[in-house]
Chain A
Amino acid sequence: MIIKLENVNYVYNPNTPFEQKALDNINLTINEKDFIGLIGHTGSGKSTLVQHLNGLIKPTSGRVIVDGIDTKAANGDLLKVRQKVGLVFQYPEHQLFEETVYKDIAFGPSNLGLSEDEIYNRVKTAMELVGLDFEKLKDRSPFELSGGQKRRVAIAGVLAMEPKVLVLDEPTAGLDPRGRDEILGRIKKLYEEKNITIILVSHSMEDIAKLVNRIVVMHRGKIVMDGETKEVFKQAEKLEQIGLGIPQITSFMRTFKEKGNPVDDTVVTVEEAKKELIRFLRSKKNA
């Protein structure tokens, strides 16, 4: 399944004093099994862009095609689009509303008119995917859970719809490191085991570096960079110009190389850096 954006423009509050162009001629193809990190400043258009992917917002001009369906098309088709593309908003736990975890996660599938058995299976599977103990938690109130657990309930609610594409808008915002690692670990596993396409919006270059295989950079409503993770992080100057950065470890390797040490400065994780430095330091010792 492919998502295609063709010459997409979006204007908030058109023809008013508050008119603001949020997306400026976006062309983007999202392929099956992509794991995309979408980065950019607050206000760069990331959230507007992801809301186009399941037809929550429709382009002012241009087209968004999801698995062959134009999101501007009739309402019946839009329902299909929203089943295919699951969107997890920022602070998704604010959307929890049911009495029990089970009911909350079952809400989406129930509206699809599925059988009770099917709903039961989907809720159970979704909870397992996000690492929540089904028997222990299904009858609890979602409001009694910890912040990280609440967020995983909210994500399970989207997964229970069995989307082919999962879009997560800053899924770790406000969580502590432990909560963050739990969520990111689950997302990684989901990608590896369920063959779904994932789009992750994040401000953390370190998290992006650990997970994704493609990075799309937005600035002032435009896509300014799009490429493999390493390729994008190679262009540190360009990223810094638009107020973004590279992982600290990449920054270290670049500085180290500039000081005259021939190391590979395209590494993006601590593990890679460790291997590369050990290789370099040992060869220096032996020389």
Chain B
Amino acid sequence: MVDEMIRFENVTYKYSTGGREKELVAVSNINLSVKKGEYLVVLGHNGSGKSTLAKLMNGLLIPTEGNVYVNGMNTKEEDKIWKIREIAGMVFQNPDNQIVATVVEEDVAFGPENLGIPPEEIRRRVDKALETVEMSEYKKHAPHLLSGGQKQRVAIAGILAMKPECIILDEPTAMLDPVGRTEVINTLKKLNREEKKTIVLITHYMDEAVEADRLLIMEKGKIIMEGTPKEIFCQVDKVKELGLDVPQVTELAYELRKEGFNVPCDILTVEELVNAL
């Protein structure tokens, strides 16, 4: 299918723990389709398998069973792997582990340089990527002196310079302060809306999930809930039972409904609750 970015078919992934103990099943029999241009958020607590899911999406891990297709290419085909990683770029949690150069623009240029792209084109891509993440004025700076949010945006620019169609982010805001988090999330929204990039955001911050087109919740290697943010957060009990948060206003709406007040269940923001009451 042309409008499909990523497809998982009965995917299982097992980590072997050195033979001494038995294998650990990280994700189990996953079926999933991510549409082109979709903003997908994956929630789940530590150990639920969400990072494994992310790494399967651009061939960093190859399924033990089943198949993963990126833009129609199977990640098991070794000669396709570089093409796959050009299409689906990945950003990780710790900004300090992803930066390789001593100047911001050189760091952003690292990816395209390795693709053997001509220098003029690299120049164009680097400038464009830094502009998109609003870091142009820092292009000559040393990355280690930037804030966490700025570093993550440089990491995202490094991916953008590879011109991916899809960006997968594994808890990109977990180590950031609120300002850095907002910077990164706004950048993602912009990339999704203006540049039509497919975004797969793995997080455990519920407020970052509110903006998604679709939400998946993982538990013990399986997808156990799936739907729009409103559909998911309507089930406050179930979400809390899984050890996850819901926004405070959603919880309040739920509590009031339990007391017999007529409040809709799909409240996600302050404005919605004010209007509902």
Contacts and interface: CB of A to CB of B under 8 A. Distances in A.
Q: Are the chains A and B members of one assembly?
A: yes
Interface of A: 41-43, 146-148, 173-179, 181, 203, 206, 243-245, 247-249, 251-252, 255-256, 259, 261, 270, 273-274, 277-278, 281
B273 interface: yes
Contacts of B273: 252, 256
Contacts of A174: 93, 174-175
Given A42-B177, A270-B248, A270-B255, A147 B270 contact: no
B247 interface: yes
A43 B256 CA distance: 40
A270 B252 contact: yes
Contact of A177 (B243, B252, B274): B243
Given A42-B148, A178-B45, A278-B256, A251 B178 contact: no
A270 B251 contact: yes
A252 B249 contact: yes
Contacts of A255: 270-271, 274
Contacts of A248: 247-249, 270
Contacts of A259: 274
B174 to A, nearest CB: 5
Nearest to B244: A177
B64 interface: no
B249 A176 contact: no
A176 B277 contact: no
Nearest to A204: B178
Given A41-B177, A42-B147, A252-B248, 11 more contacts: A173-B174, A177-B204, A177-B243, A179-B45, A248-B270, A249-B249, A252-B273, A256-B273, A270-B255, A274-B259, A281-B256
A270 B254 CA distance: 11
B1 interface: no
A112 B270 CA distance: 53
Contact of A42 (B174, B180, B256, B271): B180
20 contacts: A42-B180, A173-B175, A176-B45, A176-B204, A177-B204, A177-B244, A243-B179, A248-B247, A252-B270, A252-B274, A256-B274, A259-B274, A270-B251, A270-B252, A273-B248, A274-B255, A274-B259, A277-B252, A281-B261, A281-B277
Interface residues of B, number: 30
Nearest to A258: B274
B119 interface: no
Nearest to A173: B175
Contacts of B259: 274, 278
Contacts of B148: 42
B252 A273 contact: yes
B46 A179 contact: yes
B47 interface: yes
Contacts of A243: 179
Given A41-B179, A248-B247, A248-B270, A277 B45 contact: no
A100 B127 CA distance: 50
B208 interface: no
Nearest to B247: A248
Nearest to B94: A174
A177 B256 CA distance: 23
B245 interface: yes
Nearest to A247: B248
Interface in B225-277: 243-245, 247-249, 251-252, 255-256, 259, 261, 270-271, 273-274, 277
Contacts of A274: 252, 255-256, 259
Contacts of B244: 177
A83 B237 CA distance: 44
A129 to B, nearest CB: 22
A22 B138 CA distance: 23
Contacts of B178: 203, 244-245
Nearest to B271: A255
